[in-house]
Amino acid sequence: MHFTIPLFERRSSSGVECVTLGLGPSTRSRQGRHPDRVQRLLIEELRPIFEKARPTQLARFEMPRGIRLEKVRLELALSGATSADRRKVSGLCPVVLEPRWASEHERIVFAYHPARQGEAAPVREGLPFDEQLRALFQAAWAGLDDEEIERLWSRGKERLTALSFSCTPRSALADLPDRPGDDTGADPAFRWKKRRGLKVLPSLGVSLTQRAAQGGLDAGVPRSPQREQIALLLGAGRAQSVIVIGPPGCGKTTLVHQAVHDLLEADGYGAHKNLDRARDVVAVSGRRLIAGMSHLGDWEKRCVDLVEDARSRGAILAIDDLHHFGRIGRSRESERSLADFFRGPLSRREIVIVGECSPEAFRLLEQESPSFAALFTPLFLPEATPAETFRLMVREVRALEQRHAARVSPYALRTILDLGGSLMSAQALPGKAMDLLREVVRASAKASSAVEDQAAARDSAPRGPRPVGSHDVLRILSQKTGVPRLLLGGDEPLDAGALEEELGRRVIGQPEAVRAAADLVARIKAGLVDPRRPYGVYLFTGPTGTGKTELAKCMAELLYGSASRLLRFDMSEQSGPDAPARLIGDRYAPDGLLTQRVREQPFSLVLLDEIEKAHPSVHSLLLQLFEDGRLTDAAARPAHFNHAVVVMTSNLGARSRALLGFGGGVSEARALAMAEESAQEVARAVREFFAPELFNRIDRVVPFRPLTPEVAVRVAEKELDRLLGRRGLAERSVFVRRGAGVAERIAREAFVAEDGARSVKRFIEDEIGALLSDALSGGAPAAMQLLRLHTRGAGAGAGAGAGAGGGAASPPFLLHREALEEAEPAAAAWALAPLVAKPLDALTAELSPLLEFVEAVERGDDLARLSARIRHHLAEHSRTASEGPEAHEHAEAVYNLDAMRGAIQAFRERIELVRRRGGDDDEQQHLALEMRRFGYVTLEDERSRSRVRLFHRRQLPGPLRRLAKQEVLECIAEGHALRRALRKVDEPGQHAVLIELFRTGRFDERPAGGPGAPEEGLFEALARAYAEAEGEVEGWASARLGRDLAGAEPARASAIEQGRGTAGLDAALSGGAELLVLSVVGLCVLDFFELETGAHVWTSLARGPEVVRVRVLPARPGLTPAGVVRDHLDRQAAFDEAARHGRALPPNPAALLPVVRRIRFDPPRSPGRAAPIEIEDYVMGYAEASLVRSLSQALAPLWLLRMSREDVA
């Protein structure tokens, strides 16, 4: 029997409260967060009550027609025990008006509060309800306190709704006396008609019908004719089991969800709202059916209960892993599977199953259990067309824009459809496009929220909807696939020359192979690769140790962003007849080595190393991979290779040549001829080994030439740099710099033509690695040290420091050690130090002495003497020749003295302004208050007066902005600096300096200046900070030292870059400069910068330490930045030449200086965010921990302290 009862529902911020109406003593109420769960619990409480109720009581359980909810404004005067207890209350009261029929012609309306239904009383329709209810509730609520009455008023959203369910109430026959033979239930033929409780279905499955009724099951956009077909199959008189077949992402699950909605509509749920009268669709998983079933027969018993539950309720089972039913359940004790069990109930049509799978999975099911698969009606769902997908995306965009306050550009939809559709080949349309669209909008909304939070913290104006464009799609695709945005987007050009140069630095001496890799990148960038095949199928041939694996690693980093995307398979391990089963799986281990890894990471480079050693059956397997770009494992799961690069390596036909070693004694022409002969021999061996059908599917055979002695030197440099950048050195903060001639000595000692680069690498590990190990384990501990690696020769020990290596064998290399020591504190005090922690009011009191100082200077003799000296130098400059050192000296003095006078006047104006803003000027405070409150400012001059609208407080004029503590500190520091400048203005060399920055050591494995270059380090940060700290940059010069400088002087001069002002400085810093000289001019800049001389150390958790040596030099006449750089290069060349030939070493131009500052800082990843920093300045005796956005921001307090310097004895 079906029941519908009225329900009072009240929603608030804390959840929902539901109360049944008109049930008398059976009234029940529930509270909770989710209304559907609350109603479900109420049904579970009411069903036993209705089933036990007598038939004569059932009539009052039915919902009365015409029941309604009214909200009435009541003003009640409640009486108490005494006249003093009388009180008045008022509020909006929810009242239920329930009509009842006293006879066939008379209807009575009862009114009551939903929470106090026992106080129901009749009211007359047509008369004001408030007057009738006032009399009713004043008497009934007289004993309630204020808190109880407050709960009775209307709160939140309230409404009347209906609660529908079905149950079997007590029969009238149950009241008759028992007689033998009257129990029809004892007859087995009638026993099945009794409604039984569900045993396992609620715990094993999820009701899709219930979710659809609650609005939690998205039906998507209907697709015809599949929607009509599945509705016909499931909604007929005798429903048939259906299996929906289609590629992943084509909409199989959405089609099933649409069928659930259609079944609800067909059952009339919209009218009766009773889920018990609708056919239930329950989602069940095969894996869950056997979960925890460890004994023989356990899962069969669970499945029997499941079939009984589904049959008794007429439920449809929705199973998404139906294709595994042929295997699930099998064990060593039994070959019985789920398919064997459910074949009987399905053939008898006791249950109905709707499943979904891919075409490959359905073929697997037909192979493993053909009779079970034949019981299903297949419904094929093809991939959606781009036009259909675009319509679905437009519909989804509307919902996403409202949910995330975003605005999606049409170009973003086109990029998702075109580029995302081609990159996600493992899925079909519309699924892959819809998933990518949701991910892009969510990621963009998350990033925009972070930016808006920062903007709100800065009190900026609110923004509109967040725009989502093609660049957001490219960013998400780059993160998902690893493919750089440069290759995905068409707006950024690809520099093929720079790409080949970068690859050439990694793979040395193989220009043809590098060119082949660059060509592949260019084809991917242009979108000219075949979408149905791998990006490229390459065969690398050549002797061992020539760079085949290294180029594969470089291609993985370049195409997919990381060397971890290289999937390496040693084909020598696949030489047996079981190799195909190991690669693609078999019945007992369906996860193949190759298919599983590619399925987990489809964007990867697959390296098949030594392919000639693989079993011939593997070659047959590769035919499908090279042609179709996919392999299917034993579980019918496809692995897609059409976004992968397949590289095979082989040593076929490679043999060593004597001429390739040192001192081969063979002419160059003969060497070229032998190299060409070797290449032809390799090509012939490759063609003879591979079958024609496999060889013709290889896109390119890339030969690797044997290494020459010149290439061996470059290989030694590269491998040595890798060794010197390892974790053990970085953790101990040990920097190692190699001297000139080290790489040549390694190549001469180690290179063997038969082994290629591996012989050089092995020698570096054995000799240099052992030398460093001894130095690290046996040397004196130090916080940070620098080791210099030199070749051993006569007089090599004359350098500073003792060699770390020793022994009777006289190893060919020596290490010289330099420890970093802390600099001594400067003999100075910092007047600003005790003021930093003081509040703003206390700081403003310090301005008065500064103003008195300026006034004393202006009234006293100091300013008069400045003017007199300026006149003197002007007269001397006019008297002497316009050119020459004496004229230059007078002009320089005039400029400096005039700058001093101008600084005093500017400081006076500034300090007066600051005092006025921080004082009690009523007019200024009134104007500032008016602008902050009303957003207008009045601007006046001699001719006009106007009012200007301000849209943000940052637009306030400077004099009317609120005074900040930082401004006062800057003003105090400037005052102390002026006092000191007055004493030093006549000192020679004070007003122009040369700042030399030299990168002594840095741990970072990425090459500087190329793609993937490291982010800004200490060298770049200090250079920019010095350029902005004090004075003006007049010019600069820089050089990269990653080359041998012992050659001719013109070669060294060509390595120097220079510029005027700051033009080109950023380009030089980003280009990998390691030596930089800045020319800075300004008032007493030498006094400001001179304490920077020394070593600056930066340590970080995310990257290795870095040491930068800084020297501050007075700018003597004729000394230029380029001259300082050239002098450094000349002295470095002389030092390297002496080390190369074993002569006595001259002073090292790269020698360390004491540490003046240590910084611990991890820069924030997102622009505008702050990160913690710790700074220790040993010269100033200053330490601070704070949150900053950049290193320049952290150095600003140091500059202020330095300006307040006071010398002490």
The reply to whether 954 falls in a domain is yes
**Last residue within a domain, chosen from 794, 819, 844:** 819
Distance between CA 24 and CA 20 in Å, rounded? 9
Q: What is the model's pLDDT at position 86?
A: 80
Q: What is the CATH number of the domain that holds 332?
A: 3.40.50.300
Same domain? For 1025 and 1137 the reply is yes
What Å distances lie between residue 443 and 453, 464, 546, CA to CA?
A: 15, 17, 44
Same domain? For 624 and 693 the reply is yes
DSSP string, 830-852: ETTGGGTTS-HHHHHTTHHHHHH
Same domain? For 254 and 362 the reply is yes
Q: What is the model's pLDDT at position 142?
A: 86
Q: What is the model's pLDDT at position 882?
A: 55
The parent domain of residue 292 ranges over 200-380
Q: Which of 16, 145, 18, 128 is nearest to 72 (CA)?
A: 128
Q: What is the model's pLDDT at position 182?
A: 54
Same domain? For 158 and 293 the reply is no
Same domain? For 815 and 836 the reply is no
Q: What is the model's pLDDT at position 1004?
A: 56
- Give Dmax over CA atoms of the chain in angstroms: 145
Distance between CA 1099 and CA 1189 in Å, rounded? 17
Q: What is the CATH number of the domain that holds 746?
A: 1.10.8.60
Same domain? For 244 and 299 the reply is yes
The reply to whether 614 falls in a domain is yes
The reply to whether 610 falls in a domain is yes
Instruction: Please tell me the total number of residues recorded for the chain in this structure.
Output: 1209
Distance between CA 389 and CA 413 in Å, rounded? 10
The reply to whether 505 falls in a domain is no
Same domain? For 1049 and 1184 the reply is yes
**Last residue within a domain, chosen from 380, 398, 425:** 380
Distance between CA 630 and CA 483 in Å, rounded? 20
Same domain? For 1055 and 1137 the reply is yes
Same domain? For 316 and 415 the reply is no
Same domain? For 809 and 847 the reply is no
47 contact partners, CB below 8 Å, separation of at least 6 = 165, 167
DSSP string, 633-672: -TTS-EEE-TTSEEEEEE-TT----GGGSTT----HHHHH
Q: What is the model's pLDDT at position 193?
A: 44
The reply to whether 1107 falls in a domain is yes
Q: How many whole angstroms from its chain centre is CA 489?
A: 20
As for how many domains the chain has, the answer is 7
Distance between CA 1098 and CA 607 in Å, rounded? 39
Same domain? For 567 and 657 the reply is yes
Q: Which of 237, 284, 267 is nearest to 166 (CA)?
A: 267
Phi, psi of 688 (to 5 degrees): -70, -30
CB-CB contact of 233 with 256 (8 Å):
no
The reply to whether 502 falls in a domain is no
**Last residue within a domain, chosen from 116, 140, 175:** 175
Q: What is the model's pLDDT at position 83?
A: 61
CB-CB contact of 963 with 973 (8 Å):
no
Same domain? For 887 and 952 the reply is yes
The reply to whether 504 falls in a domain is no
Per-10-residue mean pLDDT, the chain, length 1209: 90 90 90 88 89 81 87 85 74 91 83 91 85 86 87 87 87 67 50 61 92 87 89 85 94 94 90 88 93 88 94 93 92 90 94 95 93 96 92 90 89 90 86 92 80 52 74 90 85 86 91 94 91 94 92 94 93 93 88 93 95 93 92 89 95 60 53 72 89 93 90 90 82 79 88 88 91 80 76 48 44 81 89 85 81 76 62 60 58 66 79 69 57 56 54 49 76 85 80 92 51 66 91 92 47 71 88 91 89 91 83 90 92 82 81 91 80 92 89 87 84
The reply to whether 933 falls in a domain is yes
Distance between CA 93 and CA 302 in Å, rounded? 53
Q: What is the pTM of this model?
A: 0.70
Phi, psi of 1157 (to 5 degrees): -155, 140
